[in-house]
Structure 1
Amino acid sequence: MDRGGSAELRETHRLVGHADRAWALAWSPNPGAGAGPVLASCGADKTVRIWKRAPDGAWHCSDVLEGVHERTVRSCAWSPDGKLLVDASFDGTAAIWEYSGEDFELVDTLEGHLNEVKSVSWNQSGSMIATCSRDRAAWIWEILPGNEHECVDVLEGHTEDVKMVQWHPFFDVLVSVSYDNTIRVWADDGDGKWPCVQTLTEAGNSGHSSTVWSISFNQKGDRMVTCSDDCTLKIWDTSIDLSQPTIGEGHDSWRHISTLSGYHGRTIFSVHWSSEDVIASGAGDNAICLFAEENSMVEGPSYRLILKKEKAHDMDVNCVRWCPQDPRVLASASDDGTVKLWELRGDILD
C-alpha cells in the first residue's frame, strides 16, 4: 500500500542464518576506507552475525560471534569508530568485541545486572556504554584504556522493565523507555551522577498509555520519536539551543508535538529516524511503515504516512534500522528469523 505518491520500498536481499528469531540490528558507522556497509544482527539463537556486502553487491555472513552467551542476544551496538561491538543478553551480561576489520576478539564482559539485559548503546564519543534490564535499572559504564570498564552509576526510577536506552547524538544525555509506559531523560550533574531530569508520561506530557519499546533521535538531535504497545508513535521536540551545549542543562525541555496512530494494528516494537528525516517503524502486524514531515498550513509540525509495507515479514518485525552510508537502505529483523534489506525508491516528498 502506497499512500505517498511515487515512493516504493523494495526488498533487495534476504539474509538467512539465524536459527531462531532475529531481535536487533546495528549498522557499523565506520566500516573502514573502501569497505562496503557492515551490518550486525543478533537473535534468540545466542549469536551475533556479521553481514558484509561484496563488490558484486551480494551479501554474505562473514562472522558468527557465539559461545559467549547462555541465552538470547537481545541487542547490539557499534562504537562510533566502528572498532568495538557490544551486545546484550538475557543471561544478564553484555560482551564487548574488538573488530580489526577482519576478525572479532572478545575483550571484555560487563556483569552486574540482576536479570535480562534488554538494550545497549554507546555515547557519541565512545567513552561510555549504557545498558538496561528487566531489573528496572539502567547502568552507565565508562570504558577505560585497555578496554577495561567501570560502572559509574546505576539509574533507578523506572518501576518496570527498561526496554531500551539511547544516547543523544551530541550530548552525554541518556533516554530510557520502559514497560511502565514512561520515557525518562538522564543527564550528568557534573559530579559523576546521572539524575533523571525529565519523565514523560501519558498524564503529564501526552505520553504513551502502554509499554514504550523504542526511541530514536533525528539527525539534528532536536527531535525524538518513540513507539509503544499502544500502537502509536509520538514525536517529541526540545527547545534547547543545540549550538550552545551545556552539560546537564536544558535537557528537561522535551515536549510532545505529534502522535501518529491508526497505521499499525499491533504493538510497534521498533522505530528509527533516517538522515533524510524519514521515520521507519516495525510492528507485530508484520508490517513496516514510513513517515515524513509534511508542509502544512495547520499550526505545529505534521507527519504523514509515505507508505505501508504489508507482510514485510512472515512474523513480528522486531527491529528497523536505516543504513548510515546509504539513507535509502533499510534493514529489518523479524521473529521469522530473517534479516531483510530494503531500498526506498521514488520521491518521498510527493
Structure 2
Amino acid sequence: MIIPLQKNVRQLLFDCFQIQDLIMGTLQEVQTLHGHTDRVWCVSWSPSGALLASCSGDKTIRIWSKEGDEWICKSVLTDGHTRTVRSVSWSPCGQYLAAASFDATTSVWSRKSGEFECLATLEGHENEVKCAAWSCTGSLLATCSRDKSVWIWEVSADEEFECASVLSTHSQDVKHVRWHPSKEILASCGYDDTIRLFREASDDWECCNTLKGHQSTVWSIDFDKTGSRLASCSGDKTVKIWQEYEPGNPESVATEDNISAWKNVCTIGGYHERPIYDISWCHLTGNIATAGGDDSLCVFQELPSPDPKNQPHFELAARARAAHGQDVNSIAWNPKQEGLLASCSDDETVKLWALSKD
C-alpha cells in the first residue's frame, strides 16, 4: 500500500531533487596549451577575458589569445627575470601586467604601444617575491615575499612606482596577496597559517584584522564579487569562507575602533587529498574553484540556505581528477565567459576547462 506523502514532505523531496540537479556538472577539458619548458606557476585572465597570461620556472611569461576555435601563444616575455616567475596579475585597465619572481624583483609590463614592454623593475624584497596584485583603481600594487613582508607601491600618473609602505606583520613566508574588489583593502596569507587584512590609516598602512582558523599554510585567498566575503584555501585541505561584519551589524558581532570584524562562517573539507594551492571565486556565478596537490580541480556551488550570510552552505558541483598528471598550482575563472576556467601545473602545461551541467 502506498501512503500519500504530506504536502510539505513532497515539497521537501522536490526541493532536494532540484538542488541535486542544480549542483551536478562536468569539467570538460577544452584545450591544452603547450610552450613552457618548466613547471607553470600561475595563470591570470585580462579584465576583458580575451588574454590569458601564464608564468613559469622557465623564467618566461606567455600571453595567450583565441584565434578561431583555438587558443594560441601571441607573445613570450623573456627579458624580465633571471629566476622563476611565480605570479602574474593584470591591472584593472588591462594595459599593465605585473610579474613576481624568485629573483626578488617584480616586473611591470606595459602594452599601450600594442607590444609588451618592461616598464619598471621593482626592487626591495630580500627574498623570492611570491605574488603581485593590483588594487581596484590600479593606483596601488601589492607584492609579498618569502622575506615575511608585504609591500604596497603607489603608481603615479607618469607611470612611476614608489613604495608607500612595508608591512611586516606575518611571522613567516607570505604566499599571496589580493585586493578587495571595490575598496583599498588588502588581504594577505602565508606560511604562518593566518590571513591579514590591511587598510590605510593616517600616513601609513596598518593590519586591521588577523584571521585564524586554518591548521596549515594558507596558500591563496579570493574575495567574492561584493567584497563582503573572503575564501581561503590551505595545506590543511580545507576551504574557509569568511564573512565581514560591519560596525553596528544586526548580528551583534563585536567590532573595535569602527573597523569591520571577519568571522569564519563555513568550512569546506573532504574533497582534496593534498594541500589546496589556489582558489578562485567567480564573480559571474558565485562558484568557487580550487586546485590542489592531489592533481584535481573542484568547483563548489552555494546552495540555498535559511541564513546564507551567517551559515552559507556549499556543495561540490564538479570535479576533474587527474587533471594534469602532477600538482595543479593555479586556477582562474574567465571574468567574462561564464564557466570557462584556466589551470596550470608542474607538468609544464596550461589547460582550459568548461563547466557544464550533465
Per the TM superposition, whether the score is higher than 0.5 is yes
Q: 1:7 aligns with which of 25, 29, 37?
A: 25
8 Å Cα contact 1:98/1:106 also seen in 2: yes
Q: 2:137 aligns with which of 125, 149, 174?
A: 125
Distance in 2 of aligned mates of 1:262 and 1:88: 32
**Structure 2 match to 1:25:** 43
Q: 2:69 aligns with which of 57, 62, 71?
A: 57
Structure 1 residue 4: Cα displacement: 6.6
Q: 2:233 aligns with which of 227, 233, 236?
A: 227
**Structure 2 match to 1:137:** 149
Kindly provide the amino acid, as one letter, of the partner of residue 42 in structure 1: C
Distance in 1 of aligned mates of 2:301 and 2:224: 11
Distance in 2 of aligned mates of 1:70 and 1:257: 43
Kindly provide the amino acid, as one letter, of the partner of residue 326 in structure 2: M
Kindly provide the amino acid, as one letter, of the partner of residue 230 in structure 1: D
SS in 1 for 2:158: helix
8 Å Cα contact 1:73/1:87 also seen in 2: yes
8 Å Cα contact 1:114/1:135 also seen in 2: yes
8 Å Cα contact 2:23/2:315 also seen in 1: no
**Structure 2 match to 1:279:** 288
**Structure 1 match to 2:357:** 346
Distance in 2 of aligned mates of 1:60 and 1:263: 33
Distance in 2 of aligned mates of 1:5 and 1:158: 38
**Structure 1 match to 2:159:** 147
**Structure 1 match to 2:189:** 177
Distance in 2 of aligned mates of 1:101 and 1:287: 39
1:25-55 deviation per Cα after TM superposition (whole angstroms, max 9, x unaligned): 1100036xxxxx100000110010000001x
Q: What TM-score results when the alignment is normalised by the length of structure 2?
A: 0.88
8 Å Cα contact 1:294/1:302 also seen in 2: yes
Task: From the superposition, tell whether residues 106 and 5 of structure 1 become closer, same or farther in structure 2 (CA, over 3 Å).
Answer: closer
Asked if 1:70 is matched to 2:82, the reply is yes
Asked if 1:42 is matched to 2:48, the reply is no
Structure 1 residue 130: Cα displacement: 0.1
**Structure 1 match to 2:107:** 95
Distance in 1 of aligned mates of 2:26 and 2:85: 32
SS in 2 for 1:114: coil
Structure 1 residue 228: Cα displacement: 0.3
1:227-280 deviation per Cα after TM superposition (whole angstroms, max 9, x unaligned): 000000000111238xxxxxx985541110000111000000000000200000
Structure 1 residue 291: Cα displacement: 0.3
8 Å Cα contact 2:91/2:134 also seen in 1: yes
Task: From the superposition, tell whether residues 101 and 249 of structure 1 become closer, same or farther in structure 2 (CA, over 3 Å).
Answer: farther
Q: Which runs of 4+ in 1 moved over 6 A?
A: none
**Structure 1 match to 2:325:** 314
8 Å Cα contact 1:40/1:48 also seen in 2: yes
8 Å Cα contact 1:185/1:251 also seen in 2: no
Task: From the superposition, tell whether residues 334 and 249 of structure 1 become closer, same or farther in structure 2 (CA, over 3 Å).
Answer: farther
**Structure 1 unaligned blocks of 5 or more:** 32-36, 202-206, 242-247
Structure 1 residue 186: Cα displacement: 0.5
Instruction: Choose 1 or 2 for highest CA Rg.
Output: 2
Structure 1 residue 145: Cα displacement: 2.4
Q: What TM-score results when the alignment is normalised by the length of structure 1?
A: 0.90
Structure 1 residue 192: Cα displacement: 2.6
**Structure 2 match to 1:290:** 299
Task: From the superposition, tell whether residues 249 and 94 of structure 1 become closer, same or farther in structure 2 (CA, over 3 Å).
Answer: farther
Q: 1:327 aligns with which of 335, 338, 343?
A: 338
Asked if 1:261 is matched to 2:269, the reply is yes
Distance in 2 of aligned mates of 1:3 and 1:311: 25
Distance in 2 of aligned mates of 1:101 and 1:9: 37
RMSD of aligned residue pairs (Cα, Å): 1.8
Kindly provide the amino acid, as one letter, of the partner of residue 253 in structure 1: A
Distance in 2 of aligned mates of 1:163 and 1:198: 17
Q: 2:34 aligns with which of 13, 16, 19?
A: 16
8 Å Cα contact 2:218/2:233 also seen in 1: yes
SS in 2 for 1:227: strand
Identity rate, percent: 45
Alignment of 1:181-260 (within 5 A): 181-189=193-201, 191-201=202-212, 207-240=213-246, 251-260=259-268
8 Å Cα contact 2:55/2:86 also seen in 1: yes
Distance in 1 of aligned mates of 2:58 and 2:288: 29
Q: 1:85 aligns with which of 97, 103, 112?
A: 97
8 Å Cα contact 1:233/1:261 also seen in 2: yes
8 Å Cα contact 2:33/2:71 also seen in 1: yes
SS in 1 for 2:210: strand
